[in-house]
């Protein structure tokens, strides 16, 4: 049985204590990498558990928990993007890669039969959608009809780290639960307990998301530290050396690292704070003071475009070297 992350315990207890007043649809929204899906899954299991005490986790030993552990609970459905050809009717000539990122309309329509059945144990049916923004236009409209006239004793749990991509009409029919980032010291202590070295640096590099920091391997952490060292040279940086490092990382990872660095340059300019470095380096502070916001915004737009094309780069090495050359031009050469 999965465990509840320490930064979720108080929130979980409050929800379980008010289980008799649970809404018909709950939107769990927050940053990626903080454990929203695990939280929603534990909530579903605990609500279906036959022996959980008020405010407490599922017992893990009753028949309901046994079904849940085997992923075949008759009163629970998990909707995630499928990898088959489902949803072709609403996607037209979309590629298979695109289909793997969407929750298809047939998946939502199949809920009608599930929700029409009598509950086996608790009198409750639970549907968990993750990530909710994976709903396409057709599947979102199908879900909306269910939310507008929800069947009795049904709880929809929508998990999203991009709730702005959901239909406004879906958001308006859900009670929203904002799930904040865990306190930095608590997250660092948890990472250290998991055997993660240099927890502060890794946590900062993921914007404070502990599960993303846990997944960051040693090689990726070294690449990130080396790229930050190079980027800190500003206009003096060798764009070809930086480009070669980025090629080893791959376009998607390299652009992600660049976006985080540029975000912190913006943040230092506008607020005097940073998100992706545990402590702002002197070079970051100097660079933030040596360029203007308009030029950073223009470069950020170019990074956004590069990220959209990351899966299909025409020439990764040439593209990354070009980005690095443009980066050096943001600053006076003496920086």
Of the listed ranges 78-82, 83-87, 101-105, 143-147, the least confidently predicted one is 83-87
What CATH superfamily classification does 6-178 receive? P-loop containing nucleotide triphosphate hydrolases (3.40.50.300)
Query: Tokens standing for 31?
Result: 């940053």
C-beta of residue 39 within 8 angstroms of C-beta of residue 12: yes
Q: Where are the alpha helices (DSSP H) in the chain?
A: 9-17, 36-48, 63-69, 88-91, 96-99, 105-109, 111-116, 137-148, 168-172, 184-193, 199-205, 210-215, 218-231, 239-249, 251-270, 282-290, 293-308, 316-328
119 Cα distance to chain centroid: 32
Query: Tokens standing for 121?
Result: 């144990």
DSSP state of 79: E
CA distance 330 to 299: 8
Of the listed ranges 2-6, 189-193, 253-257, the least confidently predicted one is 2-6
**103-145 tens-digit pLDDT:** 999 999 999 889 888 777 767 999 999 999 999 999 999 999 9
pLDDT for residue 90 is more than 60: no
**172-208 tens-digit pLDDT:** 999 999 998 999 999 999 999 999 988 988 898 888 9
Q: According to the model, what pLDDT value does residue 275 have?
A: 85
* Mean pLDDT within 299-328: 86
pLDDT for residue 92 is more than 60: no
Q: According to the model, what pLDDT value does residue 314 have?
A: 66
Q: According to the model, what pLDDT value does residue 55 have?
A: 65
CA distance 125 to 115: 7
Average pLDDT, the chain: 87
Q: According to the model, what pLDDT value does residue 94 have?
A: 37
Query: Tokens standing for 194?
Result: 């998991």
Q: According to the model, what pLDDT value does residue 150 have?
A: 87
**204-230 tens-digit pLDDT:** 888 899 999 999 887 888 888 889 899
235 by DSSP, 3-state: which?
helix
Q: According to the model, what pLDDT value does residue 97 have?
A: 41
**13-30 tens-digit pLDDT:** 999 988 888 999 999 999
The model carries a pTM of 0.78
Residue 21's φ and ψ, nearest 5 degrees, are -115, 25
- The answer for residues whose C-beta is within 8 angstroms of residue 74's C-beta and 6 or more apart is 67, 117, 120
């Amino acid at each position: 049985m999965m465990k509840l992350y320490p930064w979720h315990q108080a929130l979980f207890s409050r929800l379980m204590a008010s289980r008799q007043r649970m809404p018909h649809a709950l939107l769990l929204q927050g940053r990626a990498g903080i454990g929203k899906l695990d939280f929603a899954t534990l909530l579903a299991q605990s609500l279906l558990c036959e022996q959980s005490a008020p405010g407490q986790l599922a017992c893990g030993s009753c028949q309901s928990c046994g079904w849940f552990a085997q992923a075949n609970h008759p009163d629970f459905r998990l909707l995630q993007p499928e990898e088959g050809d489902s949803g072709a009717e609403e996607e037209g000539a979309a590629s298979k890669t695109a289909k793997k990122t969407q929750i298809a309309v047939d998946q939502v329509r199949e809920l009608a039969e599930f929700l029409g059945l009598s509950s086996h144990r608790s009198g409750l049916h639970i549907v968990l959608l993750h990530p909710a923004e994976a709903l396409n236009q057709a599947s979102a409209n199908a879900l909306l009809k269910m939310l507008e006239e929800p069947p009795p004793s049904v709880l929809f749990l929508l998990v999203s780290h991009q709730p702005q991509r959901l239909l406004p009409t879906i958001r308006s029919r859900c009670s929203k639960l904002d799930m904040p980032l865990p306190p930095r010291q608590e997250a660092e202590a948890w990472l250290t307990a998991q055997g993660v070295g240099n927890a502060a640096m890794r946590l900062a590099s993921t914007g404070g998301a502990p599960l993303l920091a846990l997944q960051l391997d040693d090689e990726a952490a070294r690449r990130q530290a080396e790229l930050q060292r190079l980027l800190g040279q500003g206009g003096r940086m060798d764009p070809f050396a930086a480009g070669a490092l980025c090629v080893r990382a791959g376009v998607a990872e390299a652009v992600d690292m660049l976006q985080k660095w540029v975000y912190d340059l913006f943040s230092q300019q506008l607020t005097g704070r940073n998100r992706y470095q545990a402590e702002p380096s002197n070079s970051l502070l100097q660079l933030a003071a040596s360029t203007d916001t308009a030029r950073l915004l223009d470069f950020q737009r170019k990074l956004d475009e590069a990220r959209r094309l990351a899966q299909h780069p025409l020439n990764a090495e040439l593209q990354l070297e070009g980005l690095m050359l443009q980066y050096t031009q943001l600053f006076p050469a003496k920086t």
